[in-house]
Each structure stands twice: as C-alpha cells, then as structure tokens.
Amino acid sequence: MTIGKNAPPLLIFTGVRAIDPNCGLDGEIDLVIEAGVITRVGKGAATSELLRAEGARIFSGNHLWVTPAFVDLHAHLREPGQEYKEDILSGLRAAAHGGFAHVCVMPNTRPVNDTRAVTEAMVERARSLEGPALHPIGAITVGQKGSELTEMADLKEAGAVGVSDDGRCVTSSAVMRRALEYARTFDLTVIQHAEDHALTEGAQMHEGAISTRLGLRGWPRVAEDIIVARDVLLAEATGARYHVAHVSTLGSVRIIREAKSRGIAVTAEVTPHHLTLTDASLIGYDTACKVNPPLREQADVDALRAALADGTIDAIATDHAPHSSLEKDCELAEASPGMIGLELVVPLLFGMAKNGELPLARLVDALTARPSKIAGLEAPALREGKRAEICVIDTTRSITINRANIRSKSLNTPFLNQTFTGTCVLTMAAGKIVFDQNLPQ
C-alpha cells in the first residue's frame, strides 16, 4: 500500500499558466516531465514530436495553473496515539489532495514527539508510503510540559526540522531563553505557539463585542502579543531563529514587522482560516469554528492579509487539526479547538487570488519557497533538471467539501458542504504522482 505511483514516462503540459515567482515565472508556457524529472520549461517546450510520442499524457489550456508543490510548516497528523482522528496515511493522502509535497508535523501526539525514537518512527512510516514527505517537528520541552529541554541534537539527527511545543506556549521566559540558545547550537528554528495561558483560561473564542454578546469567555489579543513581543527580545538577545506559529492579531503583525526591520531572525506563518474568517462565525456556537488561536475581527484579517502581501508574514501554514465528532459534536465549552486545512488551501485561497484579493505570486511563494527555507528544505521549483514536485490546479473545476471528496479522516471544518471553484487535480512529490484526480484513490 503506497500513495505514490510512478509517473508515466512522459507528462506534457501545453499552454498552461505556470507560476513560480522564485524562477521569475508567471505565464502561459509548456512544461515537460520525463520519468519524473522536469526536463523542459518554456514557450514551445512541448514540441510536436514530443506531443506525438507514444504513451504521452497531455494536459493543456490556461485554465490549468501549475505551481511548485506546497510545503506545510504546521500540521497535526495525530499518529502516534489518536489515529481515530487522522493517521500518517490519511494525513498524507489529504496533503497530496491539497497540493502538498512536504508536510511538517507537530509533536503534540501521544506520546509527545520529544525523542529520537518517536521522530524516527514517524519518518519511517511516512517513507514506506512514498507519498508527500513528512518532516517531524520535535518538542521544545519534555512532554511539552514547559520545563526540561529535549535532546534537540538527537531530534535533529533523526530528521526534525524544527522544535515547538505547539498546542502549548513556552511560557517561562527562562525556559524560552535556554531553548533559543540550545536550538541555535543545532541550527534549529524554535516555533512558538504564542499564548499567555494565564490570560486565556477558560476562553472559548476571541475576546470582543461578540464574545460579550454570546456570554462566552474570551481570548484577548494581548495574550498573543505579549508572548511575541517577549520572544522577539529573546531572539534578539540570543541570535537564534524564531518562528511564530499561526499569527492571528494585528498587534503581533506590528511587532513582527518592527523586529524584521531591525534585522532580527524572526519569521511567521498565518493559516487559511485566519485569513478568511472572523469571530462572527461563532454566533451560531459552531464548534467547527473553535480554533486556537481564535478567529479574530475584520481589522485583524485585514492586517494579516496586508502582512502576507508585503512579506511580513512569510508563510501560509494550514494548522490542519483534525478532530472527530467525539470532540466536536458537543457544547462549545467542551469542544477541542482546531479545524482541518490541508485540502482547503487551493479552494479557499486560489479563488481569492483569482479575484485579486491576494497577490498570486506572494501566495505561491508563501506556500513553496518561503516555508521551505524556514524548515531548511530544498524548495520545490518549476526548474529544468529538478525531480518533479508540482501542483496542478484546474481553475474551472469545482469541489464540494464533504465526505466523498475529503481524504482526511475528520471533517471538522466550517466549510463543510460548501462548493468552491478551483481545485487541485494532480500533485507530484519526489517525481511520483501522489494525487491524480483521474485515478480512483
């Protein structure tokens, strides 16, 4: 049982729109992939001889957008320990369906990924599936308990591409300082889930007019901003690489922008849902909209979009957080936070880019080259000589978000039963086809 299938000997794209800002590409061109390797890119690359070749599979038309395959910095695949929500197989299938060739997975599994053994087990399992590549993120502290640092050298050697206590914040300034110093010696990026837990106890949603109206305890913006501000100072003092997970507030954006302008090694990511939804979605007490950090206000959404556009926010990360009906079909206060995301990036965000609401070049960069750099991975690119790692989007094909179309085991998304135009129809990772709309999955 594998996800990846060998590509046909010849795959030809003619007159498609190819977008790869890091190769200076956005135009109607041809692309040829031979035995899983990109061999020709450019106008006229698909010669009549190639097009006549026996066994060639041909895609044509500028309604097809071809981009480098995506790289997710933040997903929860739940294996080991909570396979009823998702496992590595279903998670990587969802990733492939979403256009991803690389997925960095958070350590809040059961047990927590705080050791070489867990990291290695994840990598092995994923490798055997020949699908999108899985890159573990190790814990910062043992058991994500916030006090004792993990053996980061071991984690890195076993394949970890960063460290994070995601789901929990490293609250102690002393521990965070030591974590940054320690991670720096191994050239690992420290990824923070920025939440001052003392300020968010019992919170169900963003603190604002709507939480007051609904009578729900709120999660104030400042609980995120305080941690980001402190961490930026610690990053400056230690010279370590610091990355903010799922930025949600206009205040954090301001702090990150200022830190970058002073040359501090800080990077940041934003989720598709924080770019598209506000706390107004909670008015019906929909548990699918309960997420950590919470959905904020329109002013935050506007600030996040502007920060993504100008590069202050480097990357788009899904924070794919599958939960079953056990954790979601209940009262809001009892529900676990999180929503699925891997399969929603193209439907949600490329539609916005098509309408001019997001700059397309930045969107592609934020899903490919920038996250690759942050995780220390070689970026997928539409370049001759590279093993094919591509995402093909059919901008005219629609997708309804439901059980029949979603590969993830969980369906916790407020976009359930909605139909979007524009969906991924082919994904290649490491030269193999990992998702193909025309083949039964």
Sites of contact with ligand NCD (CB under 6 A): 76, 108, 166-167, 193, 291-292, 319, 321, 337-338
If the CB atoms of residues 108 and 278 are measured against ligand NCD, the closer one turns out to be 108
Question: Using CA atoms, how far apart are residues 416 and 286, in angstroms rounded to an integer?
Answer: 12
Nearest residue to 32 via CA among 172, 76, 49: 49
**Which of Zn ion, ligand NCD, none sits in contact with 338, Cβ below 5 to 8 A by type?**
ligand NCD
Nearest residue to 106 via CA among 253, 250, 251, 317: 317
If the CB atoms of residues 109 and 119 are measured against ligand NCD, the closer one turns out to be 109
Question: Using CA atoms, how far apart are residues 438 and 441, in angstroms rounded to an integer?
Answer: 9
Least distance in angstroms from the C-beta of 338 to ligand NCD:
3
Sign of torsion over alpha carbons 274, 108, 432, 377: positive
If the CB atoms of residues 291 and 429 are measured against ligand NCD, the closer one turns out to be 291
Least distance in angstroms from the C-beta of 326 to ligand NCD:
13
Token look-up 């920025």 returns 194
If the CB atoms of residues 168 and 432 are measured against Zn ion, the closer one turns out to be 168
Question: Using CA atoms, how far apart are residues 399 and 401, in angstroms rounded to an integer?
Answer: 6
Strand-pair partners of 12? 32, 58
Examine the residue annotation and report whether 319 is marked as an active-site residue of this protein.
Answer: yes
Nearest residue to 121 via CA among 111, 130, 131, 145: 111
The angle at the Cα of 240, spanning 236 to 241, to the nearest 5 degrees, equals: 105
Least distance in angstroms from the C-beta of 104 to Zn ion:
13
166 lines the binding site for Zn ion (CB under 5 A):
yes
**Which of Zn ion, ligand NCD, none sits in contact with 108, Cβ below 5 to 8 A by type?**
ligand NCD
290 lines the binding site for Zn ion (CB under 5 A):
no
Among 78, 116, 184, 193, binds Zn ion (CB under 5 A): 193
Q: Residue 388: CA atoms inside 13 Å, Cβ hemisphere, count?
A: 33
Question: Helix 250-261 and helix 298-310: axis angle, to 10°?
Answer: 20
Least distance in angstroms from the C-beta of 405 to ligand NCD:
22
74 lines the binding site for Zn ion (CB under 5 A):
no
Least distance in angstroms from the C-beta of 195 to ligand NCD:
8
If the CB atoms of residues 75 and 393 are measured against ligand NCD, the closer one turns out to be 75
Q: Residue 177 to residues 114, 146, 235: CA-CA distances in angstroms?
A: 19, 12, 8
Least distance in angstroms from the C-beta of 267 to ligand NCD:
17
Residue nearest to Zn ion as judged by C-beta position? 193
Three-class DSSP category at 220: coil
Question: Pick the catalytic residue: 165, 314, 319, 365?
Answer: 319
If the CB atoms of residues 198 and 439 are measured against Zn ion, the closer one turns out to be 198
**Which of Zn ion, ligand NCD, none sits in contact with 20, Cβ below 5 to 8 A by type?**
none
Query: Is 49 within 8 Å of 294 (Cβ atoms)?
Result: no
**Which of ligand NCD, Zn ion, none sits in contact with 208, Cβ below 5 to 8 A by type?**
none
Question: Using CA atoms, how far apart are residues 192 and 186, in angstroms rounded to an integer?
Answer: 17
Q: Which residues bind Zn ion (CB under 5 A)?
A: 166, 193
Q: Show which residues are catalytic.
A: 319
